[in-house]
Structure 1
Amino acid sequence: MAIKKQYLKSKPVCKVTFSVPAKEAKSVAVVGNFNEWNTEATELKKLKNGTFKGTVDLEKDNSYEFRYLVDGIYTNDDQADSYAFNEFAGEENCVINL
């Protein structure tokens, strides 16, 4: 899994590209506090090589919690900036710092 950050000079925004290698998966989405944990808001597009990829514009100077939803199963990114325990889920969420 990979996270790429591209800061824009013209706006206080960072384009964050999420990549998830999941050849066998039918659907992958990134969910987090930036999209109200909506499982349908940010679906990633499957590329020919089997990687799912998508870009989200996020306001810089913030931290966001997120997880991937791969065929209905929540998964964390090993390249996240840090992790935060979520009492509601009883598991850790990924954290991205911009």
Structure 2
Amino acid sequence: MLERTRRKDHTEVTFVLPPDTPPGPVSVVGDFNEWRPGTHALTPRKDGMRAVTVALPGKSEHSFRYLAAGDYWFDEESADGHDGVNSRLRT
């Protein structure tokens, strides 16, 4: 799930996943972090879900995927679209 908070000069996008699906560590990897695994690792929040927030420029588009343990790549179902194997989001 994607949560967006628009700010004056950027948009905060929070990437949210269930607590144990998939199991183990998960990070969001995309063009906004040069596709570097582990840069934006999801961590537990008070409601039990896992999340990470990334500040992105307003009115921009980005490709991303999730990377879980065991080199398991997967997409975001609630993304704004898909570009081949990547999820897409618009801020």
**TM-score higher than 0.5 here?**
yes
CA deviation profile, 1:9-40 (whole Å, cap 9, x unmatched): 2xx20000010114161201000000000002
What is the TM-score of this pair, normalised by structure 1?
Answer: 0.83
2:87 corresponds to 1:94: yes
Q: Give the number of aligned pairs.
A: 89
* Superposed CA offset, 1:33-82 (max 9, x none): 00000002111102466521110000011100000112131010110000
* Structure 1: tracts of 5 or more residues without a match: 86-91
User: Is 2:25 the partner of 1:7?
Assistant: no
Consecutive unaligned residues of structure 2, counting only runs of 5 or more, are none
Structure 2 equivalent of residue 18 of structure 1: 15
Calculate the TM-score normalised by the size of structure 2.
Answer: 0.89
Equivalents in 1 of 2:48, 2:25: separation in Å?
A: 11
How high is the sequence identity, in percent, across the aligned residues? 29
1-side partners of 2:83 and 2:19: how far apart?
24
Q: Which runs of 4+ in 1 moved over 6 A?
A: none
What CA deviation, in whole Å up to 9, does each residue of 1:69-98 have, x standing for no partner? 12131010110000001xxxxxx1000011
Q: CA RMSD in A?
A: 1.5
Determine the C-alpha separation between the residues in 1 that align with 2:11 and 2:61.
12
